[in-house]
Amino acid sequence: MSCGRESDVLTILWAIGITAEAVTGALAAGRERMDLFGVTMVAFVAALGGGSLRDVLLGHYPLVWVRDPQYVLLVMAAAILTVSVAGLMNYFRQLFLVLDALGLVVFSILGARVALEMGHGVTIAVVAAVLTGVAGGILRDLLCDRVPLVLREELYASVSVLSALLFVALLRFGVQENAAVVATLVTGFVLRLLALRFRWRLPVFAYEEVRVNGAEALRARLSSFRALRLLRSRPVVDD
């Protein structure tokens, strides 16, 4: 990560983002009645799983939480705090939605930036952004035996894709990185909040497989065939 004030701001926002994700992971584990270890594990995966998966696939080492173990302690503290004050979390639901939206865009920017710094093109930058922003939530839901929320209801991953594309496009057009980060952060954040406010979603593909009993279908065809033969063999009576 580059040095400077912009990097410091992104690092702070990223820390806030992983804290919010850790809280959502702990709450998801609590809904499944997991023990404290399970809560901490799901919180860790939700907060740091996306970035870890990105780094492993791109060969970007050391992993962030290996290089800076304080982030592991931050996630564990967030999980334990969530367990301690779980009854109050409903009062902060709107706040966590806002922090999650902010974290999504920050994760996407950082994921795209890592890929670009490694010399990859636009496609890999977008994939890295989506992995960083979305994969942690998908892994959280899979560990909790749920269909990932981002795959069926919300305009979430699409915001990550659009944010990454905007960030890369601005850099390609010669915009300074600091300005590109700010523009992407504001645009992606507002887009996510609008999606929440107006319940924007992608079109849903609904497919229901019709199961037909083979024996019954065969008997129905035979009955139709016999009825047709009887009809044809019936003698014609003139009036």
Q: How far apart are CA 29 and CA 209, in angstroms?
A: 32
pLDDT greater than 60 at residue 236: no
Q: Which residue has the higher pLDDT, 125 or 99?
A: 125
The helix (run of H) or strand (run of E) holding residue 190 is: helix 177-198
The helix (run of H) or strand (run of E) holding residue 17 is: helix 5-31
Q: How far apart are CA 125 and CA 147, in angstroms?
A: 26
Question: How high is the pLDDT of residue 235?
Answer: 55
Average pLDDT over residues 220-225: 71
Looking at the chain, list the stretches that DSSP marks H as alpha helix, in order from N- to C-terminal side. Answer: 5-31, 36-58, 64-67, 70-84, 93-117, 122-143, 157-172, 177-198, 214-233
Report residue 214's pLDDT band, with 50, 70 and 90 as the boundaries. low
Report residue 204's pLDDT band, with 50, 70 and 90 as the boundaries. confident
Report residue 1's pLDDT band, with 50, 70 and 90 as the boundaries. very low
Report residue 239's pLDDT band, with 50, 70 and 90 as the boundaries. very low
pLDDT greater than 50 at residue 2: no
Q: How far apart are CA 129 and CA 157, in angstroms?
A: 10
Q: How far apart are CA 48 and CA 75, in angstroms?
A: 9
- Residues 41-100 have pLDDT tens digits of 999 999 999 999 999 999 999 999 999 999 999 999 999 999 999 888 888 888 888 989
pLDDT greater than 80 at residue 4: no
Which has the minimum average pLDDT: 23-27, 37-41, 211-215? Answer: 211-215
Question: How high is the pLDDT of residue 3?
Answer: 40
What whole-number percentage of the chain has pLDDT above 70? 86
Considering the entire predicted model, what is its pTM? 0.82
Report residue 212's pLDDT band, with 50, 70 and 90 as the boundaries. low
Question: How high is the pLDDT of residue 232?
Answer: 61
